[in-house]
Amino acid sequence: MATAALRRSVSAFRGLRTTLPLASVFGAARPFSSTVAVKMPSKMPSSGALVELAKGRHSIYKLGRESPVSDDKIEELVNQAILNVPSAFNTQSTRLVVLLHKEHERLWEIAMDCFQGLVKNGTLSEETWKGQTQPKLQGFKDGLGTILFYEDPAHIKPYQEKFPSFKDQFGPWAEHTNAMHQYFLWIGLESLGFGANLQHYNPLIDSAVAKQWDVPTEWRLISQLVFGSPEVEAQEKPKKPVEERVKIYGKL
């Protein structure tokens, strides 16, 4: 959970506002970019706040329904993700569906119904369902909310046609930007005082979820970010040595 100092650091981001031409900051815009100006902080906050948020991000599976903030604050955070997380060629193909309170609970009831169907047809054993899957899904249901992450292919296809040399890359690039939305919202929810964990019950739940919340069937479900009040302390996981995973050349 975020400390008081960390909360102050995060709040500092909100107070820094100014407008500069994009070219004066990054050079001339690329031909395919429609962006002509961008709001930039006059003084960038320390990277320490971001690092502390990254250090504090863990998968928390025991969640409760208490909320340290209003639903409006959650909505504001989600809106900021959609507005500010980048996408390749500015495709802006990521779509988010936010389920809170009873709607969140309904999602995990749907997941349970889907798994019970697997038990009935023999795909999943009764023992596994009762001993593993059901308790896990109940744990998700006990939280406060879930954010569903989608990709809308209708906003990718035009760029595949316009830039045929990169046609096969737009799919992976869409996955990249979707992952950035997931990470932004994970550490953002953490900064508000929530615990969270990321799940992938697609495609099992896709059609039932689309029907329940009138989600366009062409949208592709990528993941589900479950969040709520953290009911246990995060457990530190072992990390492989940095030296095995990072190479730096030209350091002065």
* Structural domain harbouring 127: 66-230
> What is the predicted pLDDT for the residue at 15?
39
Residue 71: inside a domain, yes or no?
yes
Residue 180: inside a domain, yes or no?
yes
How many domains does one find in the chain? 1
- Taking only the tens of pLDDT, the chain with its 252 residues reads 444 443 444 344 333 333 333 333 333 333 344 445 656 666 677 889 899 999 999 999 999 999 999 999 999 999 999 999 999 999 999 999 999 999 999 999 999 999 999 999 999 999 999 999 999 999 999 999 999 999 999 999 999 999 999 999 999 999 999 999 999 999 999 999 999 999 999 999 999 999 999 999 999 999 999 999 999 998 889 999 999 999 999 999
Q: The tokens of 149 are what?
A: 């992450």
Residue 223: inside a domain, yes or no?
yes
CB within 8 Å of 196: residues ≥ 6 apart: 59, 60, 63, 186, 189, 190, 225, 226, 227, 228
Residue 122: inside a domain, yes or no?
yes
Residue 222: inside a domain, yes or no?
yes
Mean residue pLDDT of the chain comes to 87
Residue 27: inside a domain, yes or no?
no
CATH of the domain at 141: 3.40.109.10
Residue 240: inside a domain, yes or no?
no
Residue 147: inside a domain, yes or no?
yes
**Partners of 145 in beta bridges:** 100, 227
